[in-house]
Structure 1
Amino acid sequence: MEKWDEAPRTIGRRRGPAGISICRRAYRRPDGPRGNPQVSPDRSRGSVKVRDVMAPNPFTLPPNASVAAAAIALAESKVGGCPVVDPSGRVIGMLEEQNILEALKTQHKELRMLMPPEISFGISFVEVVQTRESVTAFADVGDWPIERIMTKPVASVRPDDDVERAIQLMVTNRVHRLPVIEKGRLVGILTRTDILRGFFRTLEP
């Protein structure tokens, strides 16, 4: 069975919105590259493991990051959500675009008519938060810490879990991504897109 390096290597660090320190770490297989691994799942077992398709360098945010700073960070990083980790690196919540939109709608009834339950029909998150009504709402909730609106408790998977279990958790909890945790530490993120990409790989000759 393939093993991941125990110690992560920092592959980038920058100062994000409102002074948030954004750090990306990579967990690399001894024979593989950094970032998303290009793998060939063991088809003889008839299953795909989470470690085969997860992204091993997840973007994270601290719980004291403001809602406004988090919204900007998600948009700049081009991700729809991320784990929220405490100073020790423990995952304590998940922040999704939907959490931010729900906070805006809760504070301003006018936004409930503008925002559908799910961001769809070609409406992007960035376009929604740039509307005049949303800007007004951000004045009220933008300073909130994200721990106030994040999703918790967190559903998670382990690297050796079958992808089928991850799918069940996503459907049951109505989430689009799951943190991958091993021995209490965050080692990756698994999204619906990652799962689809992994299954398509198993169909390749």
Structure 2
Amino acid sequence: MQARDVMTTNVVIVQASTPIADIARILRTLAISGVPVFEGDTLVGIVKEVDLIARHARPHYPRYLPLLDAQIPLGGQREYQEMVRRILGTTARDIMSTPVKTCHPDTDLEEVATLMVEKNANPIPVMEHGRLVGIISHTDLMRAFDELETPSAESAA
């Protein structure tokens, strides 16, 4: 099976300027795990449930090494700045995940599953010729794999 066989084609999208409250409402109301973020016709990111949840997580503060009259950051400075940006963000642009992991309609489902697991990507936009043609979530893959593993009534007879 390929991505085209399981993807949802009626994809809800948001613009980069969409307020976070609107995105949360969309995810909750439609029971979806994420929405692609566009600037005009260009896919620029994706907002996932975890991006919204992360805004409420306990922050991890960077540590500093005092040396003479200076404070030297001990790693994590970039991660800290990213976390602050997400916590204070008010629009999709502020909290979206980038770069977006995408696939093509002809991508095998095993490859889609690998992308989801290895890159923690869910959902995955399906792109063809630079256009969004669908989206695949964990639920879509679970349904497809269940159908593949469950013998049909015809083959059981």
TM-score under structure 1 length normalisation:
0.56
Letter in 2 for 1:71: A
**Match runs of 1:161-172 below 5 Å:** 161-172=107-118
Is there any run of 5+ residues in structure 1 with no aligned partner, and where? 1-47, 110-139
Paired position in structure 1 for 2:76: none
Q: CA separation in 1, counterparts of 2:27 and 2:139?
A: 17
Q: CA separation in 2, counterparts of 1:165 and 1:189?
A: 15
Paired position in structure 2 for 1:52: 5
SS of the aligned residue for 1:154 comes to coil
Paired position in structure 1 for 2:103: 157
Q: What CA deviation, in whole Å up to 9, does each residue of 1:63-121 have, x standing for no partner?
A: 10111221122212221211112212x211110111011123367x9xxxxxxxxxxxx
Q: CA separation in 1, counterparts of 2:138 and 2:54?
A: 22
Cα RMSD between the aligned structures? 1.9
Q: What CA deviation, in whole Å up to 9, does each residue of 1:16-66 have, x standing for no partner?
A: xxxxxxxxxxxxxxxxxxxxxxxxxxxxxxxx1110111111111111011
Runs of 4+ in structure 1 displaced over 3 angstroms?
none
Q: CA separation in 1, counterparts of 2:18 and 2:126?
A: 22
Measured after TM superposition, the shift of residue 176 of structure 1 is 2.3
Letter in 1 for 2:52: I
Is there any run of 5+ residues in structure 2 with no aligned partner, and where? 62-86, 153-157
Measured after TM superposition, the shift of residue 204 of structure 1 is 3.4
1:204 maps to 2:157: no
Which of 64, 72, 76 does residue 17 from structure 2 map onto?
A: 64
What percentage of residue pairs aligned between the two structures are identical? 30
| Residue correspondences, number | 125
**Match runs of 1:24-103 below 5 Å:** 48-88=1-41, 90-103=42-55
Q: CA separation in 2, counterparts of 1:174 and 1:52?
A: 22
SS of the aligned residue for 1:189 comes to strand
Which of 166, 173, 176 does residue 119 from structure 2 map onto?
A: 173
Paired position in structure 2 for 1:147: 93
| Greater C-alpha Rg | 2
